[in-house]
Amino acid sequence: MILCKTPEEVSLQVRKWKLEGKKVGFVPTMGFLHEGHATLFDKSLSKADKTIVSIFVNPAQFNDPEDYAKYPINTAGDLKLCESKKVDLVFLPDQETMYPGGIPDVLLAIPHLMKNLCAVSRPGHFEGVLLVISRLFHFVEPDFAFFGKKDYQQYLLIREFCKTLAFPTEVIGCETIRSDKGLALSSRNARLSESEKEESLLVSRALRLGESQIRSGITDPVLIRDIMKDVLDSSSKIKLDYLEILNADTLESLEFLKGNLLLAVAVFIGPVRLIDNITLSVSE
């Protein structure tokens, strides 16, 4: 496994591979890797000739400095996992490498996909995501890039961003990986106590209940939302950030639940913010 710490090293290796006719897959991460990330690596390894993983906790996408400071880090464990999965190259830059002279004063946005969900509750977050992705994509020049759909809004934004700016990269969304009990895997789960992890299972339970109610024929989004909210409100440890039922392709609000749907939830359990979602299709 090749370890690179500068964009120049990455670009040189990628150019060598592309001269050999190799297709490059890319999985950008913020580290503290888990089985969900490993699944993305597997997807890339099965589709591309070479797989690159980046590990960089991006300060530009944190609207809360304390959240950034507390983000879990385990570089040695991350590299061990990448090596065990036979990742070809790990890009491990520091902040000065990614943002020479500091985070640039530039605003990247896709307004029609940033009207709700995390774009509202975490102002500046997606602007920071698009900034770091644009830089990483220039360095890596991937043919394929893999993103987990747990961060569904992020996946849609990056897919649209690449299309709009004509990056020659196919953005591939991969299904959320869950624990045996249903909790969506996340690096932030490490900050939960055991009792908080039990409480967090109410998030996936609310989503599954909402899905079952929609599949039973209920088309009123207000009613479904109220049913789901009752589940979350049953815990005094859960503070609701948002609970939305939207068109899964456009993130627009709906009067009636038809077509491709996104059920999305964000909650706080103590100081830890968790997000989760499911998608489903209902016949028109």
Structure confidence by residue, pLDDT tens digits, 97-153: 999 999 999 999 999 999 999 999 999 999 999 999 999 999 999 999 999 999 999
Residue range(s) in the chain whose domain bears CATH number 3.40.50.620: 2-174
Fold of 2-174: Rossmann fold (3.40.50)
User: Given pLDDT bands bounded at 50, 70 and 90, which one contains residue 283?
Assistant: confident
Residue range(s) in the chain whose domain bears CATH number 3.30.1300.10: 187-278
Q: Is the pLDDT of residue 284 over 80?
A: no
User: How confident is the model at residue 266, as a pLDDT?
Assistant: 98
User: How confident is the model at residue 45, as a pLDDT?
Assistant: 98
User: How confident is the model at residue 59, as a pLDDT?
Assistant: 97
Nearest Cα to Cα of residue 86 among 36, 137, 52, 37: 52
* DSSP secondary structure code for residue 28 in this structure: E
C-beta neighbour count of 202 within 10 angstroms = 22
User: Given pLDDT bands bounded at 50, 70 and 90, which one contains residue 83?
Assistant: very high
Would you please indicate which residues are annotated as catalytic (active-site) residues?
37
Structure confidence by residue, pLDDT tens digits, 258-280: 999 999 999 999 999 999 999 99
Fold of 187-278: Pantoate--beta-alanine Ligase; Chain: A,domain 2 (3.30.1300)
User: How confident is the model at residue 279, as a pLDDT?
Assistant: 98
Rounded average pLDDT over 162-183: 96
Alpha carbon distance, N-terminus to C-terminus of the chain = 49
Spatial contact of 57 and 30, defined as CB atoms under 8 Å apart: yes
Write phi, then psi, for 76 (nearest 5 degrees).
-60, -45
Structure confidence by residue, pLDDT tens digits, 5-57: 999 999 999 999 999 999 999 999 999 999 999 999 999 999 999 999 999 99
**What does the mean pLDDT of the chain come to?**
97
User: How confident is the model at residue 172, as a pLDDT?
Assistant: 98
Tokens of 220: 């009123």
Bridge partner residues of 54 (DSSP): 28, 91
CA dihedral 64, 70, 71, 75 (to 10 degrees): 150
User: How confident is the model at residue 261, as a pLDDT?
Assistant: 98
The edge-to-edge listing of strands for the beta sheet with 2-4 is: 2-4, 89-91, 50-55, 24-29, 144-148, 170-174
Rounded average pLDDT over 214-236: 97
User: Given pLDDT bands bounded at 50, 70 and 90, which one contains residue 75?
Assistant: very high
Tokens of 1: 């496994």
